[in-house]
Structure 1
Amino acid sequence: MTTSLHTIETPAALIDVQRMQRNIEHMQARMDAFGVTFRPHVKTAKCISVTQAQMAAGARGITVSTLKEAEQFFAAGITDILYAVGISIDKLPRALALCQRGCDLKLIVDNVDTAHALDDFGKTFNATFEVWIEIDTDGHRSGIKPDDETLLTIARILQESGMTMGGVMTHAGSSYDYHTPEALRAIAEQERAGAVKAAQRLREAGFSCPVVSVGSTPTALSAEHLKGVTEVRAGVYALFDLVMHNVGVCALDDIALSVITTVIGHQEEKGWAIVDAGWMAMSRDRGTQKQTHDFGFGQVCTEDGTVLEGYILSGANQEHGILSHAGETDHDIRNRFPIGTRLRILPNHACATGAQHPHYAALAHDNSIDIWPRFYGW
């Protein structure tokens, strides 16, 4: 199905394919130069076409955040899949079904109770899984500290239960909180060193640990070296967003995802233009609010993607967006953005904005558009 940029109904999630391809190729070239495997996280787009572009560029295997993603991408022909969320015991039958159909699915664990539950499930159903241990290298979220004795306890339970010890993985999510090259290089090194230390402890204790997996978009783009690491994971890099721009790892012109919207009204005394993209189109994510530059609900651009400095989506109701100039009232807003004006809004968080839409309008270099389906659910 094809249409054109100027006729697609708004609001719509738009992927600039040239920008996306440039982002993908840059990241893959960087990982190739480091000599590590690159396993992109596909949760951002949840779209077969985007992932196929990543695989074509040289990615080997993918990372997912839901079993729905694993099932969809396996059905599309990708077999090497890391499910990078601690496994919930009620999902083990689905995970086993995927493995039995030929999926090379890896699970992660970060606590003794889940390790025991895997043991119990394995004995009950004569099942084995490849399991990676999640390491906490920055206190951001989940995982075991690299020097915690629990690391070896979990490895012992997995080994005795017949599970395959695949390796360790970590995610320096706190990298999103930084915005200078020096700080990003430091957190990237902290991530690398912590994962490598955990792997060394496992190996010294006699456990197998073939994979040392690290990654986030900021650390992947900031690491100075990756000694001891075997693979890197990153996801939002393919599309980027305003949070990543504030972190300092992309320019506004690198952001490949936007929402096409139409001006439908004005409040001239307030300096507002009203558009048909509210938070149902943009999401409620206000991730830039706590950063050095607050973009409201998104940065306003012309329909062709030119950034309109100072103009942001400053407010959002369910289906109405409020466009205004940050810091001063534009009393000429009606003439500047007449009824029917079509604009692009760059999002705060690509994952959240993408999740609001059933498909993407994929914009090619000739301004033609293909429709790329995406999926929802767990």
Structure 2
Amino acid sequence: MKISDLSTPAALVDLAKMERNITRMQSRMDSLGVNFRPHVKTSKCVEVTQAQIKAGARGITVSTLKEAEQFFAAGITDILYAVGITANKLPQALALMRKGCDLKVLTDSVQSAAAIAAFGLANDIRFKVMIEIDTDDHRSGIKPESAQLLEVAQALSVGGTELYGVMTHAGSSYDLNTPEALAEMAEQERSGCVLAAQRLRDAGFACQVVSVGSTPTALSARQLEGVTEVRAGVYVFFDLVMHNVGVCTTDDIALSVLTTVIGHQEEKGWAIVDAGWMAMSRDRGTQKQTTDFGYGQVCTLDGEPVEGYVMTGANQEHGIISRPDHPDLSIAKRFPVGTQLRILPNHACATGAQFPEYQALNRHQTVQTWPRFYGW
């Protein structure tokens, strides 16, 4: 199909840009001498993930066990479930492992570690467990220097588990926007996780894997001594938040939403499109950054940004295109009814999640449909 054949709104993936992003990240990881385990929660799509593996990725990271099940069914066996697991999810994880999935699970508490160990013993299986490390006060995890780190390791040592390694995610890097600050955060992430691994080893515990990563820190790290693998996800598509962080340009953003102008409020300088927050998501991640793109940057059908025009408002199925600085009272002439536009998203993961499929756009400007996963 051609773009003009698509019903709107539709999620477009520019394959040339996606492939360039994949090559960029994989080449950087290769040059730093670490394995790369992409976080596939961004795309939740087999075709995208196969392109990452073809480029050199070793294993994948997922955010739900449903993703793990779907990717395992597609032939990918080396999977890290990078959300702290609780007892009610252990049977689902066990079923995957008994089918042959090389699944790694995550903990950051003695209570969770004990539950994993007890379940493993009761079911005659050894869970590979990673301990989550908090290196930036952003989310979950154990501080590298905390006594709790060794307590969790001890809880895992009773049987039913294998302490596989440590992992961390510097999510606070999303709040930065200079190369110097990003490099400092990458080093903070690296050194904290390496410290945690060394404390475990010094106490007599095995720690095979030291895993770090976020898109900004992966692209900003100057050296990764002591790290064995890096994880990153949104780089595959990039988005406007990453543009504001400074690790990509708008020309690198591979995901956009195709939409059609359906009307105008000329006296307000509005063009109305058929993509609202159900298509773009409610994520306003750029609102707290130096440049606020509203619900997304307006581009031509060819993908060229239209300077000054963003989606300033969104209802469920209606989007408002306008200039936030001053009304364009000639907007109906600029964007007549029927005009097709592409909107670059604030957060690629959130926007992708609004659609059951992607329309993969090749260099010949034709598209093929790629399904994506849903659920838990």
When the two structures are superposed, what TM-score results if normalisation uses the length of structure 2?
Answer: 0.99
1:139 CA drift (Å): 0.4
**TM-superposed deviation, 1:118:** 1.2
Match of 2:336 among 335, 338, 341: 338
Q: Is 1:125 the counterpart of 2:113 in the alignment?
A: no
C-alpha distance in 1 between matches for 2:335 and 2:36 = 43
Match of 1:258 among 256, 259, 266: 256
Q: Deviations over 1:49-69 (max 9, x none)?
A: 000000000000000000000
- Which of 21, 24, 27 is equivalent to 2:25? 27
Counterpart of 2:13?
A: 15
What 5-or-longer segments of structure 2 have no aligned partner? none
Shift of 1:128: 1.6
> Residue 204 of structure 1: CA displacement?
0.6
2:241 partner SS: helix
Unaligned 5+ segments in structure 1 are none
Map of 1:88-99 to 2, 5 A cutoff?
88-99=86-97
Deviations 1:282-335, CA, capped at 9 Å, x for gaps: 000000000000000000000000010100000000000000012011000000
Q: Secondary structure at the match of 1:147?
A: coil
- State the partner residue of 1:188: 186
Match of 1:104 among 102, 105, 108: 102
Residue in 2 that maps onto 1:367: 365
Residues 58-104 of structure 1 deviation map (CA, whole Å, 9 limit, x = unaligned): 00000000000000000000000000000021010010010000000
Please say if residues 118 and 160 of structure 2, whose CA atoms lie closer than 8 Å, have aligned partners that are also in contact. Answer: no
**Alignment root-mean-square deviation, CA:** 0.6
SS in 1 for 2:167: strand
1:265-296 CA-to-partner distances (Å, cap 9, x unmatched) read 00000000000000000000000000000000
Aligned partner of 2:241 in structure 1 is: 243
% identical equivalent positions? 69
Q: Measure, in 2, the Cα distance between the counterparts of 1:119 and 1:206.
A: 18
Q: Does the Cα contact within 8 Å between 2:124 and 2:160 map onto a contact in 1?
A: no
In structure 1, distance between residues paired with 2:232 and 2:120: 31
Q: Paired residues, what number? A: 376
Amino acid at match of 1:84: A
- Mapped partners of 1:106, 1:119: distance in 2: 13
The separation in 2 between residues aligned to 1:121 and 1:46, in whole angstroms, is 29
SS in 1 for 2:286: coil
Letter in 2 for 1:188: A
* Amino acid across the alignment from 1:47: C
**Deviation string for 1:20-46 (max 9, x for gaps)?**
000000000000001100000000010
User: 5 Å matches for 1:280-319?
Assistant: 280-319=278-317
What is the rounded CA distance, in whole Å, between the counterparts of 2:149 and 2:186 in structure 1?
A: 22
**Which residue in the other structure is 1:213 paired with?**
211
Q: Aligned partners of 1:172, 1:29: CA distance in 2, in Å? A: 21
Q: What letter is aligned with 1:14?
A: L
- Mapped to 2, the partners of 1:122 and 1:77 lie a distance apart of 25
User: What amino acid is the match of 2:319?
Assistant: G
Question: Of 147, 150, 153, which aligns to 1:152?
Answer: 150
**Matching residue within 152, 176, 179 for 2:177:** 179
* Residue among 167, 170, 176 paired with 1:169: 167
